[in-house]
C-alpha cells in the first residue's frame, strides 16, 4: 500500500464526513453535574466532557480540540448517546445500554439499531481500531464518557 492509499484508508469518506459535521465548540455550562478533561499525549488531542442533569436525564456535552479521527469517534459517541434510551436507577445512577457502558464493549460489538450512516461510520472506525491505527484517538471520547459515568456513580449526581 502506498502513502496515498494509506492516507485514504485512514481518512475514509465516512470518517471525514463525521469529523466535518462536528460543530461543538462550547464549554461546560455552570450547571454541569460533572465534567472531565481527557488528553491524548501521543497527538495532543484534548476533550472536555460534561454531563448536565435535565429533569431525570443527563445531557452529554463535549468540547473538542482534536484530530479528525477523534472528532469522528466523538460524533459516533454523541449519536449513540442520543439514540439509545438511558434510565436512572433507584439510587439515581444512570444506566446505559451495555453497548456504551465500556470502551471495550463498543469496539467489540457493533451496537444494534444504528442508522445506516452511523453504521458505516462505526465500521470505518472499527477497521482503524482493529488495525491498531490511531486507537488512542478513537478511544478518547469514550474514555471521557467512562470517566464521566464513574464520577456520576461516585458522586450520586
37 assigned to some structural domain: no
51 assigned to some structural domain: no
Instruction: Give the total number of structural domains in the chain.
Output: 1
Return the DSSP state at 2: -
Q: Is the pLDDT of residue 38 over 80?
A: yes
Per-residue pLDDT at 86: 56
Instruction: List Cβ neighbours of 138 (8 Å cut-off, separation of 6 or more).
Output: 69, 70, 73, 107, 125, 128, 129
56 assigned to some structural domain: no
Return the DSSP state at 114: -
E strand or H helix that includes residue 17: helix 13-21
Per-residue pLDDT at 29: 76
How far is 43 from 59, CA to CA, in rounded Å?
28
Angle at CA 122, nearest 5°, toward 116 and 126? 145
Interval 141-150: pLDDT, tens: 989 988 888 8
Amino acid at each position: 500500500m502506498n502513502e496515498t492509499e494509506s492516507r485514504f484508508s485512514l481518512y475514509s469518506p465516512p470518517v471525514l464526513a463525521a469529523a466535518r459535521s462536528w460543530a461543538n465548540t462550547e464549554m461546560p455550562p455552570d450547571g454541569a453535574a460533572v465534567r472531565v478533561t481527557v488528553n491524548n499525549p501521543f497527538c495532543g488531542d484534548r476533550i472536555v466532557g460534561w454531563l448536565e442533569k435535565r429533569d431525570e436525564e443527563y445531557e452529554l456535552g463535549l468540547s473538542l480540540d482534536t484530530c479528525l479521527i477523534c472528532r469522528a469517534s466523538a460524533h459516533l459517541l454523541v449519536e449513540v448517546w442520543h439514540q439509545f434510551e438511558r434510565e436512572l436507577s433507584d439510587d439515581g445512577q444512570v444506566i446505559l445500554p451495555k453497548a456504551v457502558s465500556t470502551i471495550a464493549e463498543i469496539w467489540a460489538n457493533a451496537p444494534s439499531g444504528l442508522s445506516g450512516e452511523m453504521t458505516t461510520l462505526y465500521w470505518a472506525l472499527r477497521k482503524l481500531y482493529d488495525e491498531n491505527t490511531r486507537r488512542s484517538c478513537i478511544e478518547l471520547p469514550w474514555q471521557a464518557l467512562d470517566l464521566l459515568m464513574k464520577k456520576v456513580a461516585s458522586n450520586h449526581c
